[in-house]
């Protein structure tokens, strides 16, 4: 498929729906909090349960994907720390720099992208990766963000127990293991499927609304450095991670690489705002917001090229 075809098939739907959300947030003052609550507590868990319960992914593949995400995160933490210190960043700015380089937007950007690019199998993998990333975000992410704050970094990591996606994964995998998944045409599964499908456009609207409120003030240099790590280095690190973790299914491997190369996750703004200190110089919150916005805009180009490279088998 040509680059134009890839853009029209996988990227344009995301840009179009997110653009509507951006317009609503920019010109109508629509707030994303209510939509976000509905998505986090209802739509996304329904998507997770239905996708994983009906997925054809084997247990070994699920473990390999989890291993790949873990390896990727560890490698990107090391790179982010090294590059951040090279730029002379100190806490809390160093923590913010590391966060924006290691955490991709696998949820309201990655799930729709994988669905459009690789179909139902891609969406199943995306849901799994998003759940793993949620656990890492609310453990490793909080620890890194809180290093520059007033409280002990470990104090707020208990928030992972309030993430519904974690329990949705447990329920879905337990149902599969016990062999008690209801038939696809049952009322329960059809309800979960309907709610889960609704989460995709809602996620994109939330992304657009959140981007509309981003403050772009800040310096270009650290944003450019973080953006390069997130959009250019991440696909290479992700490719190495899936190979080392033994992800043998080509579609699964390519979906994982694509997800881990998405722009900086919007949740990093929340983590920095909630747990990071103020510090001196460039404010971590402003830097994080600017990086989320810039990487999201530039990803239209980088992700289109990455899909083409993955389809050609150049990476995995």
For residue 314, tell me if it sits in a domain. no
β partners of residue 264: 104
What is the tally of structural domains in the chain? 1
Q: Is residue 88 part of a domain?
A: yes
Tell me: pLDDT of 281 over 90: no
288 is a domain residue: yes
Q: Which of the two residues, 204 and 217, has the higher pLDDT score?
A: 204
233 inside domain:
yes
Place of tokens 């868990």: 45
Instruction: Please give the mean pLDDT across all residues of the chain.
Output: 87
Q: Is position 30 within any domain?
A: yes
Could you tell me the residue range of the domain that residue 94 belongs to? 3-307
pLDDT 10s digits, 121-141? 899 899 899 988 988 888 888
Which 3-state string (H, E, C) describes the chain?
CCHHHHHHHHHHHHHHHHHHHHHHHHHCCCCCHHHHHHHHHHHHHHHHHHHHHHCCCCHHHHHHHHHHHHHHHHHHHHHHHHHHHHCCCCCCHHHHHHHHHHCECHHHHHHHHHHHHHHHHHHHHHHHHHHHHHHHHHHHHHHHHHCCCCCCCCHHHHHHHHCHHHHHHHHHHHHHHHCCCCCCCCHHHHHHHHHHHHHHHHHHHHHHHHHHCCCCCCCHHHHHHHHHHHHHHHHHHHHHHHHHHCCCCHHHHHHHHHHHCCCECCHHHHHHHHHCCCCCCCCHHHHHHHHHHHHHHHHHHHHHHHHHHHHCCCCC
Q: What is the domain-level CATH number for residue 301?
A: 1.20.1530.20
**Is residue 102 very low, low, confident or very high in pLDDT (cuts 50, 70, 90)?**
very high
Contacts of 84 (CB under 8 A, 6+ apart): 93, 94, 97, 98
At residue 137, the pLDDT reads 86
Tell me the pTM.
0.86
Q: Which residue has the higher pLDDT, 200 or 3?
A: 200
> What integer pLDDT is reported at residue 180 of this predicted model?
92
On the question of pLDDT at 24 being above 60, the answer is: yes
């Amino acid at each position: 498929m040509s680059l134009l075809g890839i853009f029209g098939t996988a990227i344009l739907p995301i840009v179009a729906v997110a653009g509507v959300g951006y317009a609503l947030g920019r010109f109508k003052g629509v707030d994303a909090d209510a939509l976000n609550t509905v998505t986090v507590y209802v739509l996304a868990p329904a998507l997770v349960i239905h996708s994983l319960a009906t997925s054809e992914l084997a247990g070994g593949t699920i473990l390999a994907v989890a291993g790949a995400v873990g390896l990727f995160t560890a490698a990107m933490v090391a790179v982010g720390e090294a590059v951040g210190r090279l730029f002379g960043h100190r806490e809390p700015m160093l923590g913010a720099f590391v966060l924006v380089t290691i955490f991709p937007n696998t949820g309201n950007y990655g799930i729709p992208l994988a669905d459009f690019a690789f179909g139902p199998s891609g969406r199943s993998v995306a849901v799994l990766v998003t759940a793993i990333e949620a656990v890492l975000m609310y453990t490793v992410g909080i620890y890194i963000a809180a290093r520059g704050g007033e409280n002990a970094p470990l104090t707020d990591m208990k928030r992972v127990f309030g993430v519904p996606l974690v329990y949705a994964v447990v329920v879905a995998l337990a149902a599969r293991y016990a062999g008690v998944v209801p038939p696809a045409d049952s009322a329960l599964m059809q309800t979960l499927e309907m709610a889960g499908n609704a989460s995709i456009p809602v996620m994109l609207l939330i992304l657009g609304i959140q981007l509309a409120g981003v403050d772009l003030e800040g310096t270009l240099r650290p944003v450019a450095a973080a953006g390069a790590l997130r959009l250019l280095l991440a696909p290479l690190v992700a490719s190495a991670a899936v190979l080392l973790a033994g992800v043998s299914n080509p579609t699964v491997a390519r979906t994982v690489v694509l997800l881990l190369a998405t722009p900086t996750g919007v949740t990093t703004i929340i983590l920095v705002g909630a747990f990071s200190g103020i510090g001196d110089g460039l404010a971590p919150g402003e830097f994080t917001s600017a990086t989320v916005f810039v990487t999201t805009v530039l990803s239209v180009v980088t992700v289109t090229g990455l899909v083409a490279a993955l389809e050609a088998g150049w990476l995995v």
